[in-house]
Amino acid sequence: MSKFVSFAIALLITTGVLGQTFKATQQKASRVKAAYAEKWDELKSDIKKKGIKENFELFMRVFKEDKLVEVWLKSAGEAEYKLFKTYAICASSGELGPKRQQGDGQVPEGFYTVAVFNPYSSYHLSLGINYPNASDKIIGKGNLGGDIMIHGSCVTIGCMPLTDTYIKEVYVLCVEARNNGQQTIPVHIFPTKMDAKGIAFLSVTNSKQLDFWKNIKIGYDYFEQKRQLPKFSVDKTGKYVFPEK
């Protein structure tokens, strides 16, 4: 199957135009069907143990230096997210700091959402984020690149790879959240944990990015304090603006 055909089918499944539920169309792909058979019963049990209902919403948080992807869930109608699982990123590229152009090998930093579900990925299964976002489009340089994924297979240039075992779990959880009606699945990507220790580390790592990091730290702090997602906009300079700090 060509990459073009694979992407086209993935897009159809992502947008749900095949006339079935999102979960049903995803499970037409053999890898998704197998992932459900292997992982869903255990995931459902773990979700119940956490006191979360199956009709949940999902949020992901990524820490590049720590090589971690956190999956947070909350029952529909509840205000606060609960940490469900933490997965190890098994390969990395680039350095700390945002992605600003194609070919820089960087993993983006900032506030994103899941834009594509690809059950035919060359990297087992993949979830594409909406890079470049509104901020990237203002601050970036020239051709910004794209196709930034959370995927299987431990290889990467600018993506966030998990093992195939882990991507099966994350993919199934995201399909469930989308099938539950969550149209926007947030993915917040940080250079490291943005507490006082993290900021001190970053200040000696790349001082040129310190203003950017202090800006995204506002969103990090909001979630840490409230376990709720921050609202934000992007101003004409590409800076994130948080009405409720």
Give me the active site residues, please. 151, 159
Q: E strands, the chain, where?
A: 56-63, 68-75, 82-88, 110-118, 126-129, 149-151, 160-161, 186-190, 233-234, 240-241
Q: Which helix (H) or strand (E) holds 197?
A: helix 196-205
The single residue listed with the structure tokens 């800006």 is: 215
CA distance 99 to 136: 8
Distances in Å between the alpha carbon of 103 and those of 4, 13, 45, 157, 220? Answer: 21, 29, 42, 9, 28
Look up residue 47 and give its two tokens: 């979700």
Burial class of residue 233 (count of CB atoms within 10 Å of its CB; 0-12, 13-18, 19+): exposed
